[in-house]
Each structure stands twice: as C-alpha cells, then as structure tokens.
Amino acid sequence: MSDELAVIVDKYAITDVVNAVFDTVDAKDWTAARALFADEVDLDFTSLAGGDPVRLPADALVEGWIQGLHPLKQSFHAVSNIRVQLDGDSALVDTKGYAYNLLAEEVGGGLGGAKWEGWGAYRLALVRVAGAAWLVTALAFDAWHTVGDDAVRTHVQ
C-alpha cells in the first residue's frame, strides 16, 4: 500500500472510531463504547463542570456514563468538521460537536421532559494498537454555548 493510501485508510479508521464513540454512547451500548478506549483516558469536560482535567480508568468513564445517561435520559450527539492530524501511531482529532439530553418526565423532567443542549468542540487523542486498531486515550469538550436546564445534564440514577 502506498504511503498516501495508508494515510487515507488511517484517517478513515480514526474517523470511524470517533463517530462510534458518540453512536455507542447514545445507543447505551456500554460494552462497545468501552472497547473504543485505552485502559486509561485523559478527560477534560471542565468547560461544563469546572474543576481540573482528570486521568481515569476507561471503566470508570463508562460507569459514569451508565449513571449519567441512564435509561430515563435520552442523549443525542452529533460531530462534524472532523480534522485528523496523524503522527505515526498517534492522532489528534478536532471536531465540532452538539450534545442533547432529554430527561423523562417521571424522574423530574417536567411536562414532556426537560432538555439540555450544548455546542462546542471536541478534541480526541488516539493511539494505534495491535497493528491496526485505534483507541481513544483522551477526550475533551470545549463548550461554546449551552441552553436548557443544566440539572438535566448532571442528573444521575
């Protein structure tokens, strides 16, 4: 395979992993979501939650999603304008992002459910493992704008 073709194949595989992160989370397919991450992940959602960026086990990240994106909370994530920067067996991905959460009425979501929306930019770092697979080692979200009830975003069960 030529170098140019190898770059295209890598960028496609990386983009597929990035899309899969958000698709598996919205589908609440926690096993598939966990499989996309290295054992430890650098996480930075400080633009939403304050505090400091953290490094945590991927299992803890997924457990947090299980609690925060429980069956009575719907989520929808969309990413676009995906830009992949390759450097050998590592990559940085920048993408614009949209997140939507809807909390069911029966857990305090109010008439028709309460909503929260956020727009911003995601940055993910990935590494190549086992020859061809790419795993996420870092995930950050820089929130530019949010609307709705922040209690929806932070609601856990």
Write down the pLDDT at residue 110: 65
Tens-place pLDDT, residues 23-33 = 999 999 999 99
Q: What does the alpha-carbon distance between residue 36 and residue 14 come to, in Å, rounded to a whole number?
A: 11
CA distances (Å), origin 27, targets 6, 66, 70, 91, 92: 31, 11, 11, 26, 25
Tens-place pLDDT, residues 122-153 = 999 999 998 779 999 999 999 999 999 898 99
Burial 116-132 (b: 16+ CB within 10 A, else e): bbbebbbbbbbebeeee
Q: According to the per-residue pLDDT averaged within each range, which of 4-8, 93-97, 101-105 is highest?
A: 93-97
Q: What does the alpha-carbon distance between residue 119 and residue 85 come to, in Å, rounded to a whole number?
A: 22
Domains of the chain, by residue range, sit at 3-154
Write down the pLDDT at residue 111: 61
Tens-place pLDDT, residues 50-63 = 999 999 999 999 99
State if pTM tops 0.85: yes
Question: Does CATH place domain 3-154 in 3.10.450.50?
Answer: yes
**Phi, psi for 27 (deg, rounded to 5):** -80, -5
Q: What does the alpha-carbon distance between residue 28 and residue 72 come to, in Å, rounded to a whole number?
A: 11
Question: What average pLDDT does the segment 109-128 reach?
Answer: 90
**In terms of Cα–Cα distance, which of 32, 113, 105 is closest to 65?**
32
Q: Is the pLDDT of residue 70 over 80?
A: yes
